[in-house]
Structure 1
């Protein structure tokens, strides 16, 4: 078939237009950071995963939201289906042909599932021993745990974090101030444009750091700390839903933070309710706890701000083990 020069030229112009349109719709790394940083900070506040790590992984795994996988399924972290995934799925060639990847209804859902994935997979448990400001240990730990096969995966994450100063997001107020300034805004203007960076409660704005860093009162609750973890005391007829609404946490997360099993919706009056994830061991000088009559692993763990399962593992105990008065338990 013979084409005229005019037809060829028209085709070339059309193709150039398509390429130009594609180039215009591509998201830059800076735009990606600005668009999703508040979600990464919110997940850090709930799960303790550095926002800088979340952002760097999103940039790397999704090509700043431009990859086929992220565009077709909102999967920004390359998370595969696994056996327990019952949601939507798509298939792409990765390490093998036609591998199953999770699909999400929104990018926000992908960010949330990324946090839940790291939080619930046993092979990532060791990461939560690191501070949410220790992005280098998190990067190396993700590689060591097998998140990605690339031999320089940790170095890639660290380079992205340091090039874009993403580590400042791990201290939310400083991070928001940095990015607000880069856009010619004040911190207050940035807060109004990003509802995730500050929380509107009772008609005023609070910074989550106000109760995570200092011991103070908030919305009628005194906020205390033990083992570096913050908690409140439940009021009469209080519920996990009510406490969670005050501290930007779901009732389900509060139950998890406090090792509450089943469908118990109300803590007892005066009961300790942690509003952060407890630690795996005691940070103080003591190494052992001497049990009193009636104590359980759950009550001991709660008194020290330690996860119940971590305490049981430290002592080689099965879940729900009966403790005897005078029994000595390791707490670190």
Structure 2
């Protein structure tokens, strides 16, 4: 009976993670368009919420990667372990949101799983090759985004550089609505699938389903949770992403959003989970550097990088503590 309740606890915590991920990562899609006043904040958030939902419904490849590549077998874990993993990820997400640090929800989730599995059944239960593949996608994607952002911005300046700044700002303010739309859809297509993968893995380990195919109700629930979280907004991180990295003009915002969307769509097509926060941050750093290196506030960039490095071990530690507390209380 306890196992049955734990399965539903996993569903609850996974949807809570998706909700928090939604308002934590709202900045990814709208920070640039809000900071350049291409979109009004409330309209931008609602647009992002709808597109996050639609994006979450288009694919399940990333969900299968999360559900199938982190642990050696679903038989080695149980709902209690997955609950602890989600608690670790949620606590870290809330802390970084409160401090206004654009950290990675993806890193937090991976760290939570590693910590919970490691403390409960041992690190041998982890799929080393699968984790390395996921790590590489998380590490390489912001670097690719930075290089891509630099190139896209240089190309735009080469094509449109002869126009006056006023003309450029007016034209690209409209174009930013398109790039923000693409960014929001791509965010939903990748990020919402992580909670789908966790719930599906739990259902498989509990014998409720026979394969790692994501049930439709799981897709709808996760897409809805992320959309509702997005609608709640995440103003602290919007401020960091939109104003503190460098002074963004509309052409810069368009370049960053377009490049980020292309990077995330590519990862989703390859069934690879990426951190949308890392991708957008990398794009902004690349776009800013194309103007001049000193235009970028590298102090903010350093604080982001530090948060990226500590996220996995700290969320893993919280997950391990959560598992031990749960084991003491419920045996």
**TM bucket normalised to smaller:** under 0.3
TM-score (norm 1): 0.27
TM-score (norm 2): 0.27
Say which structure is richer in helix.
Answer: 2
Q: Which structure is larger by alpha-carbon Rg, 1 or 2?
A: 1
